[in-house]
Amino acid sequence: MTAPLTPPPPPHDHSAHQVWQASPPAGAPGAGAYEQDGPGMKTELREAAVITVAVALGGVLLGLLWWWLAPHVPLVGAEVDRSWVVYLKDTEGEQAAGVDGTFTLLALALGLVSAVAVFLWRRRGGVPLVVALGLGGLLGSVLAWRLGVWLGPESDVLAHAKAVGKGVTFSAPLKLGAKGALLAWPLAALLVHLGLMALFGPRDPEAP
């Protein structure tokens, strides 16, 4: 006689068990590994603060270069009816425009350098980084402007004219006539950084 054939036991369904094991409980290591994209907001804000300070300190270099390279505006003092007057020695000169132009060109160059440096340091970009780059450029421009004025010739033109004497040529105070030049650095930095991100920045993974 042959033993009765018994059907094999039904296979266990491990799908629920596998699904349960695939999702670790909250608080376990790795539970939130994919919940955040990037290093986290706190880290980005800390890096943005570092970038703001570092870029703003570049204004010291801009101020020194502006003071050194900007053309001098020649003035002459004269005494008329026992009162002092100061006038331009060269009425058709373009030194005043050259002062603003020098500041603008230097600011554009530093905007390019700061944008490249920030991009090489943090290629992933991000809104806090971009805001820090623009804010740091603006603060650096203001710092450079005030530093150049402080290092430049004496701001009291009449006192300077009296000190050097009648008919003696002296340099006018270093001043920025076009205040819009203060925006050259942040705008250049933002545009260059945007271009670098578009050309060489990280790409989002394609959807399967």
Cα dist from 64 to 143, 158, 163, whole Å: 11, 26, 26
Decide which of 154 and 205 is more confident.
154
Distance in angstroms between the alpha carbons of the first and the last residue of the chain: 59
The structure's pTM equals 0.75
Pair 43, 128: CB distance under 8 Å: no
What is the spatial order of strands in the sheet that 83-88 belongs to? 83-88, 74-80, 169-171
Strand partners, 45: none
Strand partners, 86: 77
SS3 category, 75: strand
Please spell the DSSP secondary structure of 77-135, one letter per residue.
EEEETTEEEEEES-TT--HHHHHHHHHHHHHHHHHHHHHHHHHHH-TT--HHHHHHHHH
Decide which of 9 and 67 is more confident.
67
Q: Does position 3 have pLDDT exceeding 60, yes or no?
A: no
Taking the C-alpha atoms of residue 121 and residue 163, their distance in angstroms, rounded to an integer, is: 51
Pair 107, 184: CB distance under 8 Å: yes
pLDDT (tens digit per residue) in 104-149: 999 999 999 999 999 998 887 788 899 999 999 999 999 999 999 9
Decide which of 94 and 101 is more confident.
101
Taking the C-alpha atoms of residue 56 and residue 140, their distance in angstroms, rounded to an integer, is: 4
Site of tokens 């990037």: 38
pLDDT (tens digit per residue) in 65-85: 999 999 988 888 887 777 778
pLDDT (tens digit per residue) in 181-197: 999 999 999 999 999 99
Identify the band that residue 205 occupies on the pLDDT scale cut at 50, 70 and 90: low
Identify the band that residue 31 occupies on the pLDDT scale cut at 50, 70 and 90: very low
Write down the pLDDT at residue 122.
84
Please spell the DSSP secondary structure of 11-31, one letter per residue.
PP--HHHHHHHHSPPTTSTTT
Q: What is the CA radius of gyration of the chain?
A: 33
User: What is the average per-residue pLDDT within 40-63?
Assistant: 92
